[in-house]
Amino acid sequence: MPLALDCIRPCLRGRRIAGERGLAIGWRRRALARVTKVSLVLVLLVVAAVAAWVLAMRATPATVIQPIAFNHQKHLGVGLSCDACHQHYAQQTIAGLPNTEVCMACHAAPLSESLEEEKVRAYAERGHEIPWITIHALPDHSFFSHRRHVALGKLDCAVCHGDMTQRTAPVTAPAVKLTMAWCVGCHTQRNVTTDCSACHK
């Protein structure tokens, strides 16, 4: 009988060890599955948050603060045209923003007691350009030419930029959202091509 027990004990011990190993392996697999599920959920949450942020940024134009409180109404009211400051719109894709030299052509000597005018001279004295902030930013895959729209197509600046003759404060946000739907609608209304290759590179 003791001999029989001696034979059985190693078998029982082997089964117990195998069982413990099986439990350990099963526990590890369950733990790994839980970690994988949690990781997947976290990744999906991060992706959803980033997507929501990108959509919100596209839906709501950013508001910026310009370095100088430029008054379009006052400048246009004294007879300046758009190209006095935005000098490239008739020849290039970009309209351009006025550099310090352009501003100093009129403001080298004080024309008023405005602190904003004094800022122009301060930039010039330091040899710095006025750090205007660009309002309209199109995606890299889109192409827009001011020359094509304004000089050749005779499109009024107000269509995209609003009525600047009434604007007394600096531009801080786009007047319209330049979405693809908006652009295609404008092209359709004016009977202009809506071929993809005209605007997408």
- CA-to-CA separations, 128 to 35, 46, 105, 112, 183, in angstroms, rounded: 55, 41, 15, 22, 36
DSSP per-residue string spanning the chain: -HHHHHHHHHHHHHHHHHHHHHHHHHHHHHHHHHHHHHHHHHHHHHHHHHHHHHHHHHHSPPP---SS---HHHHHHTT--HHHHSTTTTTSSS-----HHHHHHHHSS-SSS-HHHHHHHHHHHHT------------TTB---HIIIIIIT---THHHH--GGG--S---S-SS---HHHHHHHHHHTT----HHHHB-
Angle, helix 100-107 to helix 115-126, in steps of 10 degrees: 120
Name the pTM for this structure.
0.63
Question: For residues 37 and 140, which has the higher predicted lDDT (pLDDT)?
Answer: 140
Stretch 42-46: mean pLDDT, rounded? 77
pLDDT digits (tens, 9 = 90+) for 162-195: 999 999 999 888 898 889 999 999 999 999 999 9
pLDDT of residue 6 exceeding 70: no
- Predicted confidence band of residue 42 (pLDDT cuts 50, 70, 90): confident
pLDDT (0 to 100) of residue 164: 92
Higher pLDDT, 120 or 23: 120
Residue 41 — pLDDT band, cuts 50, 70, 90?
confident
The predicted pLDDT at position 160 comes to 92
Which position has the higher pLDDT, 4 or 43?
Answer: 43
pLDDT at residue 155 greater than cutoff 70? yes
